[in-house]
A and B are shown apart, each in its own frame.
Chain A
Amino acid sequence: MRSILVALAAAGALFASSVAQAGTLQDVQANGFLKCGTHIENPGFSALDSNGQRFGFDVDFCRAVGAAVNTPEIKYTPLTSKERLPALQSGEIDLLSRTTTYTMSRDANLGLDFTNITLFDGQGMMVRKSSGIKSAKELDGATICLQTGSTTELNISDYFRKNGMSFTPVVFDKQPDVRAAYDAGRCDVHTTDVSGLAAQRSLMEKPEEHVILPELISKEPLGPVVRHGDNQWGDIVRWTVWLTMAAEEFDITAENVEKMYEESTDPEVQRMLGKTGTLWQDLGLDQGAPVRVLKTVGNYGQIFDRNLGPSTPLRLERGPNAQWNKGGLIYAPPFR
């Protein structure tokens, strides 16, 4: 019922008569806070700590954008996957940073713009170790728990159809319910993006009893999404994220960014950090924006390690999310 209400509210916002559309940047700065849509609970990506503060990989990009536009206060809207796109379309949030897969139909039909890809992920499957299953090819006839309203449902159907296998889906509205049902033994398989599986595994009763199968059945490029049509806002989000990626490449961290600003002689670092040139002013920001961003969240590697890396309960390797010069896909365009 609640999800109906939220969807209704989101659709209802479209009924309201058209507001004069100022730029999102001006709106955010006038309000004094950034409205960021994110998960309800997905450890590593967006969850509450014991002080009630949001933290996580997706949250850090909200904070980075907040720092860039100099509005450190951020209002988080926890959304289910069903609610997230209408919330952005209707203007309830300014930025959606919630493991949303970049797909052509979403980009083309929905009045949305995808910015950067912050995580190269893929859909995986988790089973109990005791089942003895080693490959997804052995899953014919399995019962699979998954969350409604995402590319997950399509990918898993496609994979089983392609391999001539059958399965029974049990579909829930919220990730915690999927986990509870899988943990209780209702399903043989729990499927979602590998990063999400790792997050859910860390919350299970006995995480060590579950394994993620080696097959990835889809590409899941995840990243922040903005409304279509406000190019300035899209550029701000895009270059803020690229800034964190480039900073890792140039070994700029949250700790040394001020020192690098003063001392670096690399002309690209000087332009990137706003010491020379007008790159950031051209975006509509102030000169101090890049240093603020990096001081707040650190570089991409720091964000990854802090939330998802091997030392966290999620234990994810960098894999395709390493820098381009280290065999990965993380690649920021030149600051020039």
Chain B
Amino acid sequence: MTDHSAPPRVPFWRSPTGRAWAFQAVMLGSFLWLAVSMYRNTLENLKTRGISSGFGFLHSEAGFRIGEVTGIPLPQGGFLYFLISLALGLALSRMLTRHMKARTNAPLNTKWFGLCLLLSIGIPAATLFLFRNSVEIAHYTESSSYVMALATGLANTLKVAVIGCVASTFLGLFIALGRLSPNWLLSSLCRWYVELNRNLPVLMQLFFWYFVVFQELPGVKQSIDLGGWLILNKRGLFLPALVPHQGAWLFCGAIVAALCGCWLVLRRAKQLRDDTGEAGKRLVPCLLLLIGLPGLAWLLGGTPFGLEFPVLKGFNYKGGTGLTPEFTALVVGLTVYVSAFNAEIIRSGIEAVSRGQREAARALAMNERQVMRIVILPQAMRVIVPPMTSEYLAIAKNSSLAVAIGYPEFVSVGGTILNQSGQAVEIVGIWMGVYLCISLCISFAMNVYNARIALVER
């Protein structure tokens, strides 16, 4: 029996949904076809031209030196256990607090809290004690493989990107606040800063910092020397280095554990205040943790660090630690350039918060700083975060301009390998893949943050 209530059947090519699906399928099909034929063409062309392909070459010895080597901690042995136990401890204590809250519907009582603290500090501390001195940090040498060379280049890139993102955000915030200041001189200085840096090409700025500013410093023999504590010359900035002794890892672990403990204490204090209105103890337990745990580690493991001063030996200062002009020029150049954009983004975010909010906050007798910190900035963040993401992406990608000023980052190292092995397709593929991963990670993190601060409508 036919169902008369059903609408007459439309052939699928005349229904909008059917057509939409068909178009999508055709698009997807042609995209796949394109990708597959590109892949096959590449392989075929490589073969007909007698170029060997594949990623096997990555395991052969690199043989060249890299000027700046960032050590890569190999996540194995004790280090891995430590990370796992730290996560385990924190997760356990979080579960406990949840459980506690659900059962008693009351603020955390002291007994439970003590247990949490013990778990989150005790477990990592115990692992650290059992597996001390087993963390390996791999340093690239000429006899390492191409993979290690690429990893070192990537570590150098990430170092620049992370420092650049943090520094440009703070610098941008200050410039933005300066531009919004009622002081005419300050605000016009900040406006000039923004206009100047935003309108000059970033590569030119890098050249400026590297070849004009840092190469004007005195030579090695005429270094600016502050009693051995700070030495500045054309070759960079030299500082005394902390040399880890036997107990260094215990000491560092204790600091991490103490910080975790502090975080728990602060969280509990906040919850106590939210639930009962009385201020929980914060300062004393935090100080106790921060001083007590590392102090204990010091006693158990001996002096954690010694100082090594740079000394002039032969061509240059040896020993100690420091910053090379290449690294500094890159970080300063990128930070200054991007901070101008960040300042504008932050300023527009602040100006987007309606005037009524500010007036209401003033009416509650908040001072100017409180208004900014508690009322304006949290609301401005919603406007600021999405465009800020693309500025962070720009830092990560622009760091590849470092090739021009001699900083051995990912593209520079990859370029050397490309020329030595001749595997252009593979290296370009790795470049694209890695930058894609970095960009996706930044976007993901910023999206998560954006979702957390987004206005929740009830």
Contacts and interface: CB of A to CB of B under 8 A. Distances in A.
B424 A173 contact: no
A157 B65 contact: yes
Greatest chain A CB density within 10 A among B38, B404, B415 is at: B415
Given A15-B42, A157-B63, A170 B422 contact: no
B313 interface: yes
A130 to B, nearest CB: 11
Interface residues of B, number: 53
Nearest to B211: A180
B406 interface: yes
A86 B424 contact: yes
A82 B415 contact: yes
Interface string A68-100: 000000000000011001100100000000000
A18 B415 contact: no
A302 interface: no
Given A4-B431, A14-B42, A186 B419 contact: no
B422 A110 contact: yes
Given A82-B418, A170-B67, A18 B48 contact: yes
Contacts of A111: 46, 49-51
Interface stretch (A28-36, A145-153, A250-258, A271-279): A145-153
Given A1-B400, A154-B420, A170-B67, A17 B406 contact: no
Contacts of A143: 235, 315-316
B416 interface: yes
Contacts of B431: 4
Interface in A151-185: 151, 153-154, 156-158, 160-161, 167-174, 177, 180-181, 184-185
A186 B235 contact: yes
B406 A228 contact: no
Given A180-B211, A188-B315, A228 B50 contact: yes
Given A14-B46, A153-B416, A8 B428 contact: yes
Contacts of B354: none
B302 interface: no
A10 interface: yes
A14 B47 CA distance: 11
B234 interface: yes
A109 B52 contact: yes
Interface in B58-82: 63-67
A86 B418 CA distance: 9
Greatest chain B CB density within 10 A among A142, A154, A171, A185 is at: A171
B419 A184 contact: no
Nearest to A145: B406
A149 B413 CA distance: 9
B406 A181 contact: yes
A7 B418 contact: yes
B67 A11 contact: no
Contacts of B422: 85, 89, 105-106, 109-110
Nearest to B68: A168
Nearest to B432: A8
Interface string B231-245: 000110000000000
B43 to A, nearest CB: 10
24 contacts: A1-B400, A4-B400, A7-B424, A7-B428, A14-B49, A15-B38, A16-B41, A18-B41, A110-B51, A111-B49, A111-B50, A141-B314, A143-B316, A148-B412, A149-B418, A154-B64, A156-B65, A168-B65, A168-B316, A171-B67, A171-B406, A174-B404, A186-B325, A229-B49
Given A185-B219, A188-B315, 12 more contacts: A14-B49, A18-B45, A21-B48, A82-B418, A85-B424, A111-B49, A156-B65, A157-B63, A170-B67, A170-B326, A177-B404, A229-B48
